[in-house]
Structure 1
Amino acid sequence: MQAITRRLKGAVAAALTAASLTVAAPAAAQDVDFAGRTIEWWIPFSEGGGSDVWARFFAPYLAKHLPGNPNVIIRNVPGGGSITGTNEFAARARPNGLQLLGTSGSTQFPFLLGDTRVRYDYADFEPVLVSPTGGVVYIPASMGIADASELGQLDGQELVYASQGATSLDLVPMLAFEVMGLNVRHVFGMTGRGDGRLAFERGEATIDYQTSSAYLTNVVPLVEAGTAVPLFSYGVLDAEGNVQRDPSFPEIPHFIEAYEMMHGEAPSGVAFDAYMAFFSSGFAAQKPAMLPNGTPENIVQAYRDAFTAAVADPDLIAASGEVLGEYDQAVGDEVVRLYEVATTIDPEAREWVRTYLSENHSVMLD
């Protein structure tokens, strides 16, 4: 992965803009004061979606732990699959700490793919929080596969996956299957992963994945009933960017472990690099919160400190189960590395994905 190059152009002007805070911003984060101010947290999705729920969950804890206890409100700016609102934020947000952006994998993917509609650059934002999620791939028990160690028995068999679209979050399982060497036919048109699960239960799909909460709620009963078998989770990334087992499913091997079981060696190559980029962006670091380009360092630090305190807040911990699951939130110093992994892609890997989508699924991104 290429390292992010931070852009410092306009930093002097940004520092002057930051003076709109009630106290001019000196070097120390504790000298920032948002008392009496209102912070807009931009979400480029409609109300009620996953990113909206995530931001509304965090908002009162952010307000509680930022200096001066400002009012934090959510501003929904939907459109263009989240591209519209993110473009607007990149063009209009002022670097004074009063505007924050939250995106999701479906915002990161167009950026990573080089979609010409994108007018934002993740290298221009300052990350202050990154939230992961997880997912598990499973097949029918009727296929006679007991676990990932028997994946080789699927060689040559056609599997069917009910997909929401080739450039949606279903790009991650698509690339996982490609790298793994599974023969999977993707049937598009699903409106959500719930539709994919129902297709699986009806026998129309023979391989599926569900995010952690949906898997625990809807698929574990199928596993317990002996009708579904988990193959692998996508896993999570540690602070150094290494794949580890998903804490929600510690008994299930992650993708790399399953690949090694099937092929006897670790995955490598440009296709695997592409998979890692989109897995990181779509799951391991799915939801980042960011400040605009040029935000003074002390304001950035104040936000990072606030989110660090928020995730350690006993009230947040007690209420976090359904929204955040078992996943550690990346805050403080850890946020930079995970954000970098989730928002960068090697140019060769990008071109490989674009060519793969064009040749196999007639997806044209120019």
Structure 2
Amino acid sequence: MKLSSILSTAAFAAGAVASASAVHAQSYEGKTIEYVIPFSESGGSAKWANFYAPKLAAALPGSPTMVVRYRPGAGSTEGANWFQSQQDEGDGLLLFGDSGSTKFPYLLGDPRVRYKYEEWQPVVASATGGVVYLPPDLGEKFDGDMDDLKDPFYLYGSQGATTLDLVPLLAFKMLGMQVDPVFGVEGRGDGRLMFERGEANIDYQTSSAYLANVQPLVDDGLAVPIFTWGALDEEGVIVRDPTFPDMPTFKEVCEATEGCETSGVAWDAWKAFFVAGFANQKTIFLPQSASQEVYDAYVAAAKAVVSAEGFAEEAETTLGVYPQMTGAAAVEATRQATSISDEAKQYVLDWLMEDYGISVQ
């Protein structure tokens, strides 16, 4: 996947601003908009939603109230299925925010999935990153590869192998680590709490949650970051995460670790889910029945938010340094993040069955 196509689409979309008459005709004065995410209030998705909600509300005509609601369950498929059932709510008073944890079951053909991305209307798509960290006694052994960290036995609090945790679990396998996931946590924030309580000795958090909740642990000497998932450049090559440029990427660590390969089907499968889970991870949607007038009003508001003076600096502090795509660019980003090759899909399905006894289809 090339981000250049997304960025060029974004440039085109920036010129295709909704007509003034359509935007001004749509007013939400005195209204309350529900912005639903299928996660708990303690993870990175909650940070992201609460960052955007007041800004979008202020930019919409009439400056409505926007309230973030949480519907966790089944690795986010429960909330996504609920949103699918709300596709006739086209008055602009309902938004939904997904994550890679929502995209993954869709990509894998999980029978729990009843939602249809092609029916939803993307307004904003956000890239993000993620950081893997260890307790100090293990982190001090990290020297750029995982060769000295393959023997310890690791516990990892996980939402499930078909959620966003697919990316770290597959990465840990490729690195030859002995990681036993403890399935069933409701959000990555709960996984972090397990780490803080000493119930887990490896964890990762998305960038926003890491900056807010893990960096203080690092500053206090209670956690040691070892690598990031990285970011994509315009040619689709994994490079260092711009939010954490001093940390090596998983690709760098894999290349330095004996037995880990950055080519072949395992690597292709990991990268496909990395794209869906991080490069184009979170999206804000309107229901299918939202009119063009409603959609245009939201896209105009989103463009106003991301182009506002000071937004980049505030976003860097809260979300990290990543693309924020609106309108047509968000549509294209979503299309790419919800597509996968048959070979990569089959590899992951086989791995899930062999390692965890999970039959997705």
Q: Give the one of 27, 36, 39 matched to 1:35.
A: 27
SS in 1 for 2:324: coil
Residue identity matched to 2:26? F
Listed as ranges, the matches of 1:244-255 within 5 Å are 244-255=239-250
Q: Give the one of 59, 69, 81 matched to 1:65.
A: 59
C-alpha displacement of 1:289 = 0.8
Is contact 1:270–1:352 with CA below 8 Å preserved after alignment? yes
Is contact 2:38–2:77 with CA below 8 Å preserved after alignment? no
Q: Give the one of 248, 254, 260 matched to 2:255.
A: 260
Larger CA deviation: 218-227 vs 51-60: 218-227
Q: Give me the CA root mean square deviation.
A: 3.8
Gaps of 5+ in 1: 2-26
Is contact 1:146–1:229 with CA below 8 Å preserved after alignment? no
Report Cα offsets for 1:320-354 as digits up to 9, x if no partner: 56642444423355434432333222233223222
The normalised TM-score by structure 1 is: 0.74
C-alpha displacement of 1:129 = 0.7
C-alpha displacement of 1:297 = 5.9
C-alpha displacement of 1:259 = 1.9
Cα distance in structure 2, aligned partners of 1:45 and 1:265: 34
Listed as ranges, the matches of 1:54-93 within 5 Å are 54-66=48-60, 68-69=61-62, 71=64, 73-74=66-67, 76=69, 78=71, 80-81=73-74, 82-93=76-87
- C-alpha spacing 1:350/1:97, structure 2 compared with 1 (3 Å): farther
C-alpha displacement of 1:298 = 6.6
Q: Which has the larger radius of gyration?
A: 1
SS in 2 for 1:57: helix
- 2:344 alignment counterpart: 349
Cα distance in structure 2, aligned partners of 1:53 and 1:153: 35
The normalised TM-score by structure 2 is: 0.75
Aligned length: 337
Report Cα offsets for 1:58-96 as digits up to 9, x if no partner: 233223334x33625347472643434433433432485
Larger CA deviation: 246-255 vs 124-133: 124-133
- 2:143 alignment counterpart: 147
Residue identity matched to 1:43? V
> Is residue 178 from structure 1 mapped to residue 160 from structure 2 by the alignment?
no
Listed as ranges, the matches of 1:176-215 within 5 Å are 176-188=171-183, 192-198=190-196, 202=198, 205-215=200-210
Cα distance in structure 1, aligned partners of 2:297 and 2:36: 21
Q: Give the one of 273, 279, 282 matched to 1:287.
A: 282
SS in 2 for 1:358: helix
Cα distance in structure 2, aligned partners of 1:268 and 1:297: 44
Cα distance in structure 1, aligned partners of 2:219 and 2:51: 32
> Is residue 115 from structure 1 mapped to residue 110 from structure 2 by the alignment?
yes
- C-alpha spacing 1:89/1:59, structure 2 compared with 1 (3 Å): same
Cα distance in structure 1, aligned partners of 2:136 and 2:156: 18
Larger CA deviation: 274-283 vs 296-305: 296-305
C-alpha displacement of 1:233 = 0.3
- C-alpha spacing 1:259/1:52, structure 2 compared with 1 (3 Å): closer
Is contact 1:158–1:185 with CA below 8 Å preserved after alignment? no
